[in-house]
Amino acid sequence: MNYEKLITKHVQKLVPYQSARRIGGHGHNFLNANESPKSEGYFLNSTSLNRYPDCQPEELIERFADYAGVHKTQVIATRGSDEAIGLLVRTFCEQEKEGILIAPPTYGMYSVAAETNNVLIAEAERNDDFTLTAQQLIDGVNNAAFPVKVVFIDSPANPLGICFPKDELVKLLKALPETLIVLDEAYIEFAPKEEDLTYLVNEYENLVITRTLSKAFALAGIRCGFAIANENIIKAMLKVIDPYPVCDPVAQIAIQALTDHGVKMTLERAQKCNERRAKLEEALKTLSFVKKIFASFGNFLLVEFTDGPAVFNAMAQKGVILRSFETKKGLKNCVRITIGSDAELEELMRYLSALEI
């Protein structure tokens, strides 16, 4: 059997998303996937595991809607925000004819979701300092060789760390009323409160916010994310989603994480993470081979070294696994460091300080 011929043409060409897990690496100190350094404890009730779960467990949706400050009809729960990204592409873009707009360097799943679903990708230019304006995105949409249905913006951006300004977002939403503008707020709990633009879904029908429990909530392992948008967009996505996207144990844990106590713990965790980020930034500044530390609102720092691959490889040899952005647009010699625990970051700094480059 010719397996290659059996596979659809666009999947034959596909390079899957290179997640930190997929890339792998042998080590003991994993600072490569923007995970929280510590897992929390939860209770599990196993009395109804014989039953299929609700497609959208009501208590989960209500708790998250409360937390995000929106109505429950404006929320869909997904397997991580990655599934929400894929659903948006599948629900709104016609295969081979329409597509998405991204502004590289940006989170890699937007283009992988487009390629997997055989829809087209256009790119917008950023400024030299990597900031992004509404006009650059509007130009990207207007210059694309196909109709752009969905624009993806990460805010805080991964790996850049910057937030997309509110006035630029409003300008974009007004200029492109027939295009979905997706603001990916995966890291929003690490940013100042005013950077969270979720409330704008009440004013703009073309705005979609994606969120996740993987980062500040320290629950990457349960795969629970959300999209927030006006009710009609959510209804369309609910047509496309698989029948049981939220497993029963996932819902149980997420509901506990979204209690008042759980949210309080999360915000404290994010605050402590930001303090460690500031401390790491100060320590990195003392190293002669650090060229630039990007300002960051996420649980990570993007660092330009004089020789990024040398730093990445030297740390990997010591078992400290970082994430290299060497091949990404404008990010030669850049390495992303997840804000781990104090002990993990101290170990990193010990090895970096001893490095001779």
Q: Select the residue interacting with ligand PMP from 53, 57, 80, 105 (CB under 6 A).
A: 80
Nearer to ligand PMP (CB atom), residue 297 or residue 352 = 297
Over its C-alpha atoms, the chain yields an Rg (Å, rounded) of 20
Q: Select the residue interacting with ligand PMP from 154, 168, 189, 344 (CB under 6 A).
A: 154
Q: Minimum distance from CB of 323 to ligand PMP (Å)?
A: 10
Is 196 a residue that touches ligand PMP (CB under 6 A)? no
Query: For residues 48 and 248, is the Cβ–Cβ distance under 8 A?
Result: yes
Site for ligand PMP in 281-300 (CB under 6 A): none
CA distances from 82 to 25, 78, 86, 211, 311 (A): 23, 8, 6, 10, 30
Stretch that binds ligand PMP, among 39-47, 119-127, 128-136, 212-220 (CB under 6 A): 212-220
Nearer to ligand PMP (CB atom), residue 42 or residue 289 = 42
Query: For residues 38 and 342, is the Cβ–Cβ distance under 8 A?
Result: no
Is 158 a residue that touches ligand PMP (CB under 6 A)? yes
Start-to-end CA distance of the chain, whole Å, equals 52
Is 212 a residue that touches ligand PMP (CB under 6 A)? yes
Please, what's the largest Cα pairwise distance for the chain?
59
Nearer to ligand PMP (CB atom), residue 132 or residue 352 = 132
Contacts of 338 (CB under 8 A, 6+ apart): 30, 31, 32, 33, 34, 35, 299, 300, 323
Token couple for 284: 């990195």
Q: Hunting for tokens 């011929």 — which residue is that?
A: 5
Q: Hunting for tokens 């005013």 — which residue is that?
A: 194
Nearer to ligand PMP (CB atom), residue 80 or residue 140 = 80
Q: How many residues interact with ligand PMP (rule CB under 6 A)?
A: 13
Contacts of 207 (CB under 8 A, 6+ apart): 169, 173, 180, 181, 183, 200, 201, 229, 230
Query: For residues 20 and 338, is the Cβ–Cβ distance under 8 A?
Result: no
Site for ligand PMP in 98-137 (CB under 6 A): 107
Distance separating alpha carbons of residues 292 and 197, to the nearest angstrom: 29
Stretch that binds ligand PMP, among 53-61, 64-72, 76-84, 162-170 (CB under 6 A): 76-84
Nearer to ligand PMP (CB atom), residue 184 or residue 248 = 184
The strand pair at 300-305 and 334-338 is best described as antiparallel
Q: Select the residue interacting with ligand PMP from 81, 198, 206, 274 (CB under 6 A).
A: 81
Q: Minimum distance from CB of 306 to ligand PMP (Å)?
A: 26
Distance separating alpha carbons of residues 102 and 303, to the nearest angstrom: 22
Q: Minimum distance from CB of 12 to ligand PMP (Å)?
A: 25
Q: Select the residue interacting with ligand PMP from 74, 179, 214, 296 (CB under 6 A).
A: 214
Is 206 a residue that touches ligand PMP (CB under 6 A)? no
For binding to ligand PMP (CB under 6 A), which residues are involved? 34, 80-82, 107, 154, 158, 184, 186, 212, 214, 220, 225
